[in-house]
A and B are shown apart, each in its own frame.
Chain A
């Protein structure tokens, strides 16, 4: 791997790491979600610094090329993230629906009570 490519990779992964940290400090990213991203970007940094080690490991496991190994790890990471996201969306949708129902029922009750008092 050429030196320039390596430097670009290292810089890119460090920027991602710092971005996560910054967003978490500003609490635009929840700590629980953020830790997952920190973990992911940490793996990226490690892989870009020790790219030779990645090559050796992937060869030992039996990948045709190290790049396949790297992609596999990243895709797995993203799949897990999307799946977790889906679970969260369902929970949120349920909550919205419940709040929706609650508001409507309360409002109708209040309006009815108001009419009774008149």
Chain B
């Protein structure tokens, strides 16, 4: 088996989307994938087992961050070179996977972000204002422009996977990008298209998104805005 790229598909209550997502991945790429089921309460697990998908099920529901951390750990232990985060909710299109992965393989960058707004303009709604604020915060602290910091479609190279395994508190969130930039990891954005959610609810609801914004901005300015200490 070629242990090159691992596609991590976090899934929480995605019984309606997961089958199409995996089909999409299988049709477009030959890379290994793993679904990480965050202790779903619906039949996500049964569907995956029925279709013989490569599945990992967490015994306790522990949130998206921990799911990605687990994916990183899994990839690290199994010796994968690149991890690609690909949402199981049907928003992402698998035809862009190869573009992101090639970008890292050609040593252009350590993290490739599938960006919705690299060439296209942002729509004007509250979510996009939040996204702009985070972009501005990243620009202020690191000097680097990231147009779509909240994108859930990212490819991580070897260095980034190592960082994730070294620092247990990194999450797949914008503040981690700041941390990565401060630790000399290069980031590049690639234009992709995303669909609207097909079924089910997202992790982020309205009240939570305010909390999310506060947490993220605070973290960018005060916590991740410095180099990590050298290993003891």
Q: Are A104 and B56 in contact (CB under 8 A)?
A: yes
Q: Chain A at the B interface: mostly helix, strand, loop or mixed?
A: helix
Q: Are A105 and B74 in contact (CB under 8 A)?
A: yes
Complex contacts, B77 vs chain A, CB 8 Å: 105
Residues of B66-81 contacting chain A, CB below 8 A: 66, 69-70, 73-74, 77
- A4 contacts B by Cβ under 8 Å: no
In the bound assembly, the distance between CA atoms of A105 and B60 in angstroms comes to 14
- B58 contacts A by Cβ under 8 Å: yes
- B59 contacts A by Cβ under 8 Å: yes
- A96 contacts B by Cβ under 8 Å: yes
Expressed in whole angstroms, the minimum distance between the Cβ of B122 and any Cβ of chain A is: 34
- A52 contacts B by Cβ under 8 Å: no
Residue of B nearest to A103 (CB): B59
Tally of A interface residues using CB under 8 Å: 10
Q: Are B168 and A104 in contact (CB under 8 A)?
A: no
Q: Are A100 and B73 in contact (CB under 8 A)?
A: no
Residue of B nearest to A109 (CB): B77
B56, B66, B69: the one contacting A108 at CB < 8 Å is B56
- B57 contacts A by Cβ under 8 Å: yes
Q: Are B73 and A105 in contact (CB under 8 A)?
A: yes
**How many pairs of A and B residues are in contact by the CB < 8 Å rule?**
30
A94, A98, A104: the one contacting B58 at CB < 8 Å is A104
Known contacts being A105-B74, A105-B77, is A100 close to B56, with CB within 8 Å? no
Residue of A nearest to B71 (CB): A101
- B62 contacts A by Cβ under 8 Å: yes
Residue of A nearest to B55 (CB): A108
Which of A101, A105, A108 has the most CB atoms of chain B within a 10 A radius of its CB?
A101
- A97 contacts B by Cβ under 8 Å: yes
Expressed in whole angstroms, the minimum distance between the Cβ of B179 and any Cβ of chain A is: 18
Q: Are B66 and A97 in contact (CB under 8 A)?
A: yes
In the bound assembly, the distance between CA atoms of A103 and B56 in angstroms comes to 11
Expressed in whole angstroms, the minimum distance between the Cβ of B11 and any Cβ of chain A is: 14
Residue of B nearest to A93 (CB): B62
Complex contacts, A96 vs chain B, CB 8 Å: 60, 62
Q: Are B168 and A100 in contact (CB under 8 A)?
A: no
Complex contacts, B73 vs chain A, CB 8 Å: 101, 105
10 new A-B contacts at CB < 8 Å, known A97-B69, A100-B62: A94-B168, A96-B60, A97-B62, A97-B168, A100-B70, A101-B69, A101-B70, A101-B73, A105-B70, A105-B77
A interface residues (Cβ-Cβ under 8 A, vs B)? 94, 96-98, 100-101, 103-105, 108
